[in-house]
Chain A
Amino acid sequence: MNSGESMVAVLFLLMTLAIAMIYSGKRKMAITIFVIALACCCFLLFHVATNDLKINW
């Protein structure tokens, strides 16, 4: 991955997985995936807010 922005598609994937887990009745798994996704969102927001995205990390 080149930058944090490419992570956004992965975050949507994680959210889709979390919703699918709710449907299949796996509550703990759904919440775990969701928490990971939300933590990544906060991490990405931090990088956007600090204009750090142009650095390859």
Chain B
Amino acid sequence: MHERNWNALLVVIISAILWGAYGVQFFEHEQPCVLCLLQRLGMISVAFGALLNLKFGIQRSHYGISLVAAIFGGFVALRQIALHVCPGFSIFGKPVLGLSLYTWSFIIFASSIGYISLLMIFCNDKKETKMEKKWLGYFAFCSLFLVTAANIFTTLWQCGLGDCE
């Protein structure tokens, strides 16, 4: 599989995680806090770098964008973990598969850094490669665009122009 397809796969996986977060929000009735929304923004930013690779070809600067975003998101997740790590403090929200959502979020950001690093190590194609599976690229674009646009409305619905409740 070409490097662009691996990038498309990263975007699809991140979109699926963000749609999953919507599932928890609406089916489990868990309203996201500001830090949770910042983590969503971090994930979108990681996918943004991969989208740049999809559209404009593989460049190190695009991977750099994704890595900076992953470090930012990981820092936000760590901050939220630190808020609830002391004994006697309950976790925020219902756990999913035994871990809180912000712990999963940290794992996702750490995995993204590992994934991008592996791509940079093993897939340094010098020649411009074409997308093998164009449908995967279109699907990645549409899915990420829709989930990001949906977040505008749900955040406005939840927070309005004031504090998030």
Q: How far is the CA of A15 from the CA of B14 in the complex (A)?
A: 15
Residues of B in contact with A (beta carbons under 8 Å apart): 34-35, 37-38, 41-42, 44-45, 48, 51-52, 55-56, 65, 68-69, 72, 75-76, 79, 141, 144-145, 148-149, 151-152, 155-156, 159-164
Residues of A within 8 A of B75 (CB): 45
Closest to A19 in B: B145
B153 → A minimal CB distance (Å): 8
- Given the known interface contacts A5-B34, A41-B41, A42-B72, the answer about A12 and B148 at a Cβ–Cβ threshold of 8 Å is yes
Main secondary structure, interface of A, reads helix
Contact B156 A20 (CB under 8 A): no
Residues of A within 8 A of B79 (CB): 45, 48-49
Residues of A within 8 A of B156 (CB): 9
Contact B38 A45 (CB under 8 A): yes
A1-20 interface bits toward B, Cβ cutoff 8 Å, 1 = contact, 0 = none: 11101101101110110111
Q: How far is the CA of A53 from the CA of B162 in the complex (A)?
A: 11
Beyond the given A8-B155, A9-B156, A16-B149, please list 6 additional residue pairs across the A-B interface where CB-CB is below 8 A: A12-B44, A12-B151, A13-B152, A16-B148, A19-B144, A19-B145
Closest to A1 in B: B161
Contact B163 A53 (CB under 8 A): yes
